Amino acid sequence: MSTNATEVLDDSQVQARADMRAYLETMIQKIVRNPAGVRVEFFRGDKTTVYVVVVAPEDLGLLLGKKGATIEAIRVILKAQMARFGMRAVVQLDQQLEAYCARGSAQD
């Protein structure tokens, strides 16, 4: 009996990951100016699901928000939603972030 319960839990976790990917993508598309440039992928680690977000370079500032407030709010929502299923999750921005930060430092 416990095997079936585990299988059901695993199925719900698989569905929760996919649903959260779609939710993140839709939410981020509503924030940026180029919604077609938004892509969200996820990778399952041992204990944590990692969501990698890619946006058009010109939209990175909008996604980050002032002092990182927007991306932090997205991370809080993700963590709360995934905790309902007993899972941990994080949002990472693609390597674009490094280029964006370097560009800001060069302009100072």
Residue-wise pLDDT for 53-98, tens only, equals 999 989 999 999 999 999 999 999 999 999 998 999 999 998 666 5
- pLDDT for 94 equals 83
pTM of the model: 0.78
Give the domains, in start order, of the chain with CATH numbers: 2-107 (3.30.300.20)
Q: Which string of DSSP letters, residue by residue, matches 5-73?
A: HHHHHHHHHHHHHHHHHHHHHHHHHHHSS-GGG-EEEEEE-SSEEEEEEE--GGGHHHHH-GGGHHHHH
